[in-house]
């Protein structure tokens, strides 16, 4: 029944673009979570060759072009019958009998139609040291990408935090003259993308004690 329901899906260009974006998501998640995880992206356009992206496929002995699993087909049936909410987490074993902790999540395309599945399998025999190392590894490449990030509940708080942080940086730099400090603060805030936020110019002007026109002047002169 499941094969008959899903074999005939014809993907639109938008559907394919959505699935393609999930490939990059798999790369990012794999880079973050480490080698103990297998990521599998299925397209429902061809169930016999549904795997269109796979990372660490050695855990389940699969590769791109492999077919969908029987459990995934059963999940699709249950979703259609509205017995599942669009994701399903479970324990399983690979062909060698090794334990996995898995989750399968639907990919939604045009018209709220299920067009694919993202499956994540954690290999439970992964050494703890390997898991920890993947989270805290500090190679030169990773260090160069280390950045401060402000986690806030609203845009105003984000803007205020950014202004305060940049102000401290500028004030601590002896190479920046007093008359150029506000200009430098505005330019550094612009480099962070702060002025893409609504009402950011008004709030920054208030926090810096200058007019909106002064903010705009610094931005124009640097463009």
The model's pLDDT over 176-188, given as tens digits with 9 standing for 90+, comes to: 999 999 999 999 9
Instruction: Indicate the Cα dihedral angle 129, 61, 86, 13, nearest 10°.
Output: 120
> What are the C-alpha distances in Å from 68 to residues 41, 44, 61, 74, 116?
10, 9, 13, 11, 10
Q: Please say whether the dihedral angle defined by the alpha carbons of residues 90, 33, 109 and 153, taken in this order, is positive or negative.
A: positive
**Residues 185, 43: Cα–Cα separation, whole Å:** 48
Q: What pLDDT is stored for residue 146 in this prediction?
A: 52
Q: Reply yes or no on whether the pLDDT at 149 is more than 70.
A: no
- Helix runs in 92-211, H state only: 128-136, 140-144, 155-171, 181-191, 200-208
The dihedrals phi and psi of 182, each to the nearest 5 degrees, come to: -60, -40
Q: 67: alpha, beta or left, given left = phi > 0 and alpha = psi -120 to 50?
A: beta
Q: Is 105 helix (H, G, I), strand (E, B) or coil?
A: strand
The domains located in the chain, with CATH, are 2-136 (3.30.450.20), 147-221 (no CATH)
DSSP code, position 153: S
Q: Reply yes or no on whether the pLDDT at 171 is more than 70.
A: yes
How much is the mean pLDDT over the chain?
87
Q: What pLDDT is stored for residue 179 in this prediction?
A: 92
**Residues 39, 64: Cα–Cα separation, whole Å:** 11
In the sheet with 51-55, reading across from the earlier edge strand, the strands are 51-55, 37-43, 114-123, 99-108, 87-93
- Range scoring the smallest mean pLDDT among 29-38, 74-83, 90-99, 152-161: 74-83
pLDDT in tens, 79-93: 777 776 788 899 999
Q: Reply yes or no on whether the pLDDT at 138 is more than 60.
A: no
């Amino acid at each position: 029944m499941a094969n008959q329901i899903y074999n005939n899906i014809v993907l639109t260009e938008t559907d394919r673009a959505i699935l393609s974006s999930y490939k990059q998501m798999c790369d990012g998640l794999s880079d973050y979570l480490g080698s103990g995880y297998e990521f599998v992206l299925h397209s429902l356009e061809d169930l016999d060759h549904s795997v269109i992206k796979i990372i660490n496929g050695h855990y389940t002995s699969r590769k791109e072009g492999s077919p969908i699993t029987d459990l995934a087909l059963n999940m699709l049936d249950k979703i259609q019958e509205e017995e599942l909410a669009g994701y399903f987490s479970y324990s399983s074993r690979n062909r060698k009998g090794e334990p996995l902790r898995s989750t399968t999540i639907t990919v939604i395309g045009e018209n709220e139609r299920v067009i694919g599945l993202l499956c994540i399998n954690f290999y439970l025999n992964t050494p703890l040291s390997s898991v920890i190392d993947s989270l805290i590894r500090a190679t030169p490449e990773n260090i160069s990408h280390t950045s401060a990030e402000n986690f806030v509940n609203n845009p105003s708080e984000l803007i205020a935090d950014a202004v305060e942080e940049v102000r401290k940086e500028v004030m601590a730099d002896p190479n920046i003259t007093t008359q150029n400090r506000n200009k430098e603060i505005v330019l550094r805030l612009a480099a962070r993308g702060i002025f893409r936020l609504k009402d950011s110019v008004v709030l920054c002007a208030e926090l810096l004690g200058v007019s909106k026109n002064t903010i705009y002047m610094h931005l124009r002169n640097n463009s």
